Structure 1
Amino acid sequence: MEEWKVVRVREADMEKDLPAVEELEHRCQVGLCGDTAPTGDDGVVAKKKKKKKCMSLCVEQIGDPLARVRHTPEHVMLVAEFGEEKEIVGVIKACVKMVSRGGGGKQPKPYVKVAYLLGLRVSPSHRRLGIGTALVRRAEEWCRAMGAAHATMATTASNAASLALFTGRFGYKPFRRPEFLGRPVHAHGLHVPRGHRVLELSPEMAAAAYARQLPPQDTEFLPADMPALLAHKLTLGTFVAVESNPDQSLPPSFAVLSVWDSTRSLRLRVRGAPALLRASLAALRAVDRAAPWMRLPSIPDIFRPFGTYLLYGLRMSGPEGPALLRSLCHHAHNVARKNPACAVVAVDISPDDPAAAAVPSWRRFSCDEDIWCIKNLNPGDNADDWTAPAPPGNLLFVDPREF
Structure 2
Amino acid sequence: MEEWKVVSVREADVEKDLSAIEELERRCQVGLCGDTVTGDGDDDGVAKKKKGMSLCAEQIGDPLARVRHSPEHVMLVAEFGQEKEIVGVIKACVKMVSRGGGKQHKPYVKVANLLSLRVSPSHRRLGIGTALVQRAEEWCRARGAAHATMATTASNAASLALFTGRFGYAPFRRPEFLGRPVHGHGLHVPRGHRVFQLTPEMAAAVYAQQLPPHDTEFLPADMPALLAHKFTLGTFVAIESNPDQSLPQSFAVLSIWDSTRSLRLRVLGAPALLRASLAALRALDRAAPWLRLPSIPDIFRPFGTYLLYGLRMSGREGPALLRSLCHHAHNVAHKNPACAVVAADISPDDPAAAAVPRWRRFSCDEDVWCIKSLNPSDNSHDWTAPPRTGNLLFVDPREF
Same fold (TM over 0.5): yes
1:381-400 matches, within 5 Å, as: 381-400=378-397
Listed one character per residue, the Cα deviations across residues 189-239 of structure 1 (whole Å, up to 9, x for unaligned) are 000000000000000000000000000000000000000000000000000
How far apart are the structure 1 equivalents of 2:322 and 2:131?
45
How far apart are the structure 1 equivalents of 2:389 and 2:206?
22
The amino acid across from 2:3 in the alignment is: E
Q: What's the offset of the Cα at 1:104?
A: 2.6
Kept after mapping to 2: 8 A contact 1:182/1:365: yes
Q: What's the offset of the Cα at 1:19?
A: 2.1
The amino acid across from 1:354 in the alignment is: P
Match of 1:32 in 2: 32
Kept after mapping to 1: 8 A contact 2:99/2:217: yes
Q: What's the offset of the Cα at 1:33?
A: 7.8
Match of 2:53 in 1: 55
How far apart are the structure 1 equivalents of 2:186 and 2:46?
36
**Structure 1 126/375 Cα, relative in aligned 2: closer, same or farther at 3 Å?**
same
The amino acid across from 1:73 in the alignment is: P
How far apart are the structure 1 equivalents of 2:47 and 2:175?
17
Q: What's the offset of the Cα at 1:360?
A: 0.4
1:128-207 matches, within 5 Å, as: 128-207=125-204
**Structure 2 unaligned spans of 5+:** none
How far apart are the structure 1 equivalents of 2:47 and 2:255?
28
1:1-400 matches, within 5 Å, as: 1-32=1-32, 37-39=37-39, 41-42=42-43, 54-107=52-105, 109-245=106-242, 248=245, 252-400=249-397
Q: What's the offset of the Cα at 1:45?
A: 9.7
**Structure 1 270/19 Cα, relative in aligned 2: closer, same or farther at 3 Å?**
same
Listed one character per residue, the Cα deviations across residues 55-101 of structure 1 (whole Å, up to 9, x for unaligned) are 11101111211011111111111000000111111000000000000
Q: What's the offset of the Cα at 1:375?
A: 0.3
**Structure 1 unaligned spans of 5+:** none
Kept after mapping to 1: 8 A contact 2:59/2:264: yes
The amino acid across from 1:42 in the alignment is: D
The amino acid across from 1:400 in the alignment is: P
Q: What's the offset of the Cα at 1:156?
A: 0.5
Q: What's the offset of the Cα at 1:35?
A: 11
Listed one character per residue, the Cα deviations across residues 284-328 of structure 1 (whole Å, up to 9, x for unaligned) are 111101100000000001111110000000000000000000000
Listed one character per residue, the Cα deviations across residues 99-141 of structure 1 (whole Å, up to 9, x for unaligned) are 000013232x100000000011111111111111110010000
How far apart are the structure 1 equivalents of 2:185 and 2:195?
19
Secondary structure, aligned partner of 1:360: coil
Secondary structure, aligned partner of 2:363: strand
The alignment's TM-score, normalised by the length of structure 2, stands at 0.96
Kept after mapping to 1: 8 A contact 2:34/2:155: no
The amino acid across from 2:239 in the alignment is: V
How far apart are the structure 2 equivalents of 1:205 and 1:241?
14
The amino acid across from 1:9 in the alignment is: V
Listed one character per residue, the Cα deviations across residues 352-403 of structure 1 (whole Å, up to 9, x for unaligned) are 0000000000001000000000000000223321100001110000000000
The alignment's TM-score, normalised by the length of structure 1, stands at 0.95
The amino acid across from 2:88 in the alignment is: G
Q: What's the offset of the Cα at 1:275?
A: 1.2
